[in-house]
Amino acid sequence: MAGGTFIMQIKSFHRAAALIAAFALAACGDGAPSAAPAVAAASAASTTGSSSTLSLAAQVGEKMFVDARLSGSGQLACASCHDPKNAHAPANDLAVQPGGADLKAAGTRAVPSLRYKDVTPPYADLLDNPDGISVPGPGGGFAWDGRAATLAEQARIPLLAANEMANADVAAVVAELKAGAYAELFRQAFGADVFADTDTAFAKAGLALQAYQLEDRSFHPYSSKYDLYAGNKIGGTLTPAEVRGFKVFADPQVGNCASCHYQGAGLNGSSALFTDFSYEAIGVPRNPAIPANADPAYVDTGLCGPLRSDHPPAAGNTFCGMVKAPTLRNVATRKSFFHNGVMHSLEQVIRFYNTRDTLPEIWYPTVGGKPKATPDAGFPSYGLVKTQYVGGKVKKYDDLPPQFVANIDTQMPLDGRKAHSAPPMSEQNMADLVCFLNTLTDGYQPPASAPSTSPCTQ
């Protein structure tokens, strides 16, 4: 991986330079044109979509999205897991959601938000990076492992998965659509004889859900404080804490978040998506709360399966362990983080980035040690492991088979520094970063007067 590491470092250096330039311009805040691209600004003004502006296909998709009849249990709709009131992600804090015919089967991955997915390109092993500078690498596609090329294709997965909507087959879904209240609308959208052929009708159902997600503004409202800021709009002045947090986010020597959660101008005229669609292995700890993980032989290696099969999980396969870097828009509204939902607060995630390497014992299990009766005064309580051990060995990267540990990314802030050395971010850096990430939440209403008590105002 030495060569790979070198390229990565060059890549993050170039990106950093570009980002700092963009940041410096954008941060002027004196009404001068911002370096931040204008797409977000233009859309910030528009409101949430209403059916009247949607194509017929999208109107069908809108109905399907909330239709629990389209599940084996009769109780699960897309919206049950992708709650429109919670940025199209679960409102509960479960790592994985229940599903299946009796709602007793469990998922194996955390549910992502469906927001800002409209310009996601199909997966490619060598996708050009939207920053226009970085070397091509695995990127694009839907789901944590990118296995669906389009939103239409993706819809097939939950409709048929035995642990999600659990329809017996394609015909069962089509039968529900044909017998349902909006069958006529379906015919209007896709042709009077659309139900004559089951596969055709099912394909159209996927296109309907895709059209809804692409057309309806609620999936990409660009209505966060950050959007006001990027568009130089009233109410978009970042507080000092948010400005500092943005610097931490973009600074390659500190947070370096922008290196993967890229916020510049991207593909297809997009901007500020807070992802570059790339895949990395960052060694997120195993989550015992996922029932599938009770079997030690079960391991989710992202690009190497088990849910996709074109990158065999064989030693030396550099794709294994890689997972999509998700958008960070609306990240402050999430209740479970990472592909396996192992963490439950933004602060915890940021602390993981900061101390995965310097305090591995609070993130990964220790084998062979003895629990300390009274933990040291300084032993942190924010990790996943609350017990301090004497002796034993920390099992770092416990959710990745040893032959894939070489695939772990080495960019800042996860640069593999020595245990118990100084972490990359200070307490202040992390607090500021949380403030900045909170500006990415949609539906922002500038307060009439600045609240004096918020920790993010100073």
Q: Is residue 138 at the binding interface for ligand HEC, with CB under 6 A as the rule?
A: no
Residue with tokens 């993010």: 456
| Shortest Å distance, C-beta 344 to ligand HEC | 10
Q: Is residue 350 at the binding interface for ligand HEC, with CB under 6 A as the rule?
A: yes
Give the separation between CA 139 and CA 142, rounded to whole angstroms: 10
- DSSP type of residue 48: -
Q: Is residue 151 at the binding interface for ligand HEC, with CB under 6 A as the rule?
A: yes
Nearer to ligand HEC, 158 or 236 (CB): 158
Q: Is residue 364 at the binding interface for ligand HEC, with CB under 6 A as the rule?
A: no
| Shortest Å distance, C-beta 32 to ligand HEC | 28
Q: Is residue 320 at the binding interface for ligand HEC, with CB under 6 A as the rule?
A: no
> Which residues inside 13-72 make contact with ligand HEC, applying CB under 6 A?
none
Nearer to ligand HEC, 155 or 230 (CB): 155
**Residues in a beta bridge with 390:** 370
Choices 40-48, 222-230, 345-353, 440-448 (CB under 6 A): range interacting with ligand HEC? 345-353
Contact 243/232 with Cβ under 8 angstroms?
no
Rounded alpha-carbon distances, angstroms, from residue 218 to 115, 116, 214, 223: 8, 10, 10, 10
Give the separation between CA 141 and CA 307, rounded to whole angstroms: 13
Q: Which of 222, 337, 404, 444 binds ligand HEC (CB under 6 A)?
A: 337
Give the separation between CA 374 and CA 380, rounded to whole angstroms: 13
Q: Is residue 214 at the binding interface for ligand HEC, with CB under 6 A as the rule?
A: no
Choices 35-43, 258-266, 360-368, 447-455 (CB under 6 A): range interacting with ligand HEC? 258-266
Give the separation between CA 282 and CA 286, rounded to whole angstroms: 12
Nearer to ligand HEC, 189 or 325 (CB): 325
Give the separation between CA 147 and CA 260, rounded to whole angstroms: 20
Q: Is residue 260 at the binding interface for ligand HEC, with CB under 6 A as the rule?
A: yes
| Sign of the alpha-carbon dihedral angle for 311, 312, 313, 314 | negative
Nearer to ligand HEC, 38 or 292 (CB): 292
Nearer to ligand HEC, 111 or 230 (CB): 111
Q: Is residue 97 at the binding interface for ligand HEC, with CB under 6 A as the rule?
A: yes
Greatest Cα-to-Cα distance within the chain, rounded to the nearest angstrom: 73
Q: Is residue 154 at the binding interface for ligand HEC, with CB under 6 A as the rule?
A: yes
CA angle, 120 then 255 then 258, to 5°: 25
Pairing mode of beta strands 366-367, 279-280: unpaired
Q: Is residue 280 at the binding interface for ligand HEC, with CB under 6 A as the rule?
A: yes
Q: Is residue 244 at the binding interface for ligand HEC, with CB under 6 A as the rule?
A: no
Give the separation between CA 61 and CA 64, rounded to whole angstroms: 5
Pairing mode of beta strands 393-394, 366-367: antiparallel
**What does residue 20 show for φ and ψ, rounded to 5 degrees?**
-65, -40
Choices 15-23, 142-150, 174-182, 438-446 (CB under 6 A): range interacting with ligand HEC? 142-150
Number of residues that bind ligand HEC (CB under 6 A): 52
Contact 210/61 with Cβ under 8 angstroms?
yes
Region for residue 140 given its phi and psi (left: phi exceeds 0; alpha: psi -120 to 50; beta: otherwise) = left
Q: Is residue 300 at the binding interface for ligand HEC, with CB under 6 A as the rule?
A: no
Taking only Cα atoms into account, the Rg of the chain, rounded to an integer number of angstroms, comes to 23
Q: Which of 134, 259, 301, 333 binds ligand HEC (CB under 6 A)?
A: 259
**Residues in a beta bridge with 366:** 394
Q: Which of 11, 244, 247, 261 binds ligand HEC (CB under 6 A)?
A: 261
Cis peptide before 306 (omega within 30 of 0): yes
Q: Is residue 331 at the binding interface for ligand HEC, with CB under 6 A as the rule?
A: yes
Q: Is residue 334 at the binding interface for ligand HEC, with CB under 6 A as the rule?
A: yes
* Nearest one of 393, 355, 390, 363 to 375, comparing CA atoms: 390
Q: Is residue 82 at the binding interface for ligand HEC, with CB under 6 A as the rule?
A: yes
Q: Which of 111, 127, 290, 359 binds ligand HEC (CB under 6 A)?
A: 111
Q: Which pair of tokens denotes residue 391?
A: 């002796």
Q: Which of 23, 116, 123, 144 binds ligand HEC (CB under 6 A)?
A: 144
Q: Is residue 434 at the binding interface for ligand HEC, with CB under 6 A as the rule?
A: no
Region for residue 103 given its phi and psi (left: phi exceeds 0; alpha: psi -120 to 50; beta: otherwise) = left
Nearer to ligand HEC, 350 or 385 (CB): 350
Q: Is residue 264 at the binding interface for ligand HEC, with CB under 6 A as the rule?
A: no
Residues that bind ligand HEC (CB under 6 A): 76, 78, 80-82, 97, 99, 107, 109, 111-112, 114, 117, 142-145, 151, 154-155, 158-159, 164-165, 209, 255-257, 259-261, 280, 282, 284, 307, 323, 325-326, 328, 331, 334, 337-339, 346, 349-350, 353, 409, 411, 413, 433
